Structure 1
Amino acid sequence: MTTKRRGMTEEAADAAIDQACRMLRMPTIRNSFTDYADRARREQMSYRGFLAELLLAECDDRARRRSERRIKAAKFPREKSLRAFDFDANPNIDPAVIHTLAKCEWVQKGQPLCLIGDSGTGKSHLLIALGTEAAMAGYRVKYTLATQLANELVEAADEMTLAKTIARYGRVDLLCIDELGYMQLDRRGAELLFQVLTEREEKASVAIASNESFGGWTKTFTDPRLCAAVADRLTFGGTILETGTGSYRLAQATKQRTT
C-alpha cells in the first residue's frame, strides 16, 4: 500500500529525498537533485524530463565509478592515455591502427596484441593506454611485468596454490604483460608463464610489450621449443606493432623544447 503525502514543505521534501537516496544508494541524485530541480524550474521542464535527467545523471556517474574501479583493479603502475601519446614523436606508430585498437574489438574476440621495439619507444605507454581503454569499455584488465608474473607463478606452485593463481588471471578479459625480454626467465618460470598463456588461448586477450624481436626471445625463453610455442600463442590471429628503434621520450622532449 502506497501512502500519499500532500502539503509537504520543500525542507521536508529535501529531507525525504535525501533519506530515500541513501536507502536506494543513489549518491549522485542525493548530491545534485536541488541543482537539477532549480534548472528544471527555470527551463520549465516536464516531470518526465526532470526524472529522466536525474536518472541519467545517476547512471552516468555509476558508469564512471565502475570504470575507475576497473582501472584501479588493473594495477597500472602509472596513468597513461592515448590522448597524451605524441604520435609525431614516433612516426612508426600509425594513429589509425591505435584508434582502431582502442575500440577493443580485439579484446572482445580474445585476440592477442604484441608491441615490439627498443626501450623508450613508447611500448609501455601504449600498453597501459590501450589497457585503460579496455577497462573503460567494461572489460576486466590486469597489468603485470613478465618477471613479476613468472615469480608469482613459481611461488604459487611452491605453495600449492598454482591452480588458484592461474584461475585468477584467467578471469580477466585482458592480461597486459610488460617488459617481456628485459630479463631471462628461468626454465620453471618460463614454463608456468606459458601455461597461463595456454589457459587463455581462444578465451581471453593478452597484450605484451617486448624490447626483443621474436628472434631474440630465445634469451628470455631458453628452451627453443618453448620460445616458439610462446611466440605462436601471442601472434596467431593477433596484431603485431613495431614501435621502432628511435627514442620516443627523447623525440618528445626535443619537440617540447623547440615549441
Structure 2
Amino acid sequence: MISRDRVPSIVLVAMLALAGCQTGPTGEMTTIDVAQGSNENIASLTSVVERSPQDPEAYNVRGSAYGRGGRYREALQDFDRAIQLSPNFYQAYANRALIHRFLGDQQKALADYNRAIQINASYDAAYVGRGELYRKAGRTQEAFNDFQKAIQLDTTDGRAYHRRGLIYQSQGQHAFAIEDFSTAISLSPDSGEPYNGRGVSYLATNDEENAFADFNMAIKLNDRDAEAWANQALIYERRGDKARASKSYARAAQLDPNYGPATEGLSRTRG
C-alpha cells in the first residue's frame, strides 16, 4: 500500500481515465540541451574525443548527444567505452540505461540503473529513471519508492514529482496528485505534461475551470499532445459546445489515430 493517508477515491470519466498517465521517454535526458543532438555539435564533440581518447567524460557527453539525436547504437558504444575507461562512472550507467529503455531492453536498463545506484546511492537521476521503468512495468509500489527517494534527495528533476503525481492520481489521491503536479510545473515550467496531469485531477474533483486552464496551457506548451487536445475537447463537450469539442477531438485523432478517447469523442460530437 502506498504511504500517505488516502483521500476518498474519485472515479474519472471513463474516456479520461488514462489521459493523464500516457507518458513516454521523450525528453528524459533532462541534462542534455536539444542542440546537442545536432550534427555540428556531434562533430565538435568527436574532435574532443579524438584529442582525449582516454577521457571517459568525453565519451559520456558525446553519447548523450547521440542519444538526443536518436542515434542510439552510437550512444551505446560511447557509454560502453566510458564505462570501460571508468567502471564506477555512475552517470554513464544511468545514461546507458535510458538508451536501453529506448531500444526496448528493459532488463539491461534495470541492471544499469541498479549499478548506478549501487555506486552512488544518492544519485537522484537513477532513481527517477528506474522509477519510470518500474511504473511502466506496473510495479507501482517500487516506482513510488524510487520517486519518493529522489524527492527525499532534494531532486530538482520535475519528472520525479510528475510521475509520483501520476501514481497518486491512479490511486484516486487527487489532492496529493495536484500538489505534486504543481511542484513539477514549478521545476519544469516549459513541460506540458504536468499541466495535463493536473488538469485530469482537477476534473476528477469537479474543478472544471482549473482543469480547462491546465489543458489549454498543456496545448500551448506542446500542440502535438493528443491527450491534452482530447481533454480540452471533453470540457467543451461537457459544456455543450459540440462544434469546438469535435474540432479538438479531430486534432487529437489526427495526432494519434489510435488514441481511443479522441476517436470515440469525435464520433460522439461529429456533425
TM normalised by structure 1 equals 0.29
Greater strand share, 1 or 2?
Answer: 1
Structure with bigger gyration radius: 1
Greater helix share, 1 or 2?
Answer: 2
Higher relative contact order (CA 8 A, sep 6+): 1
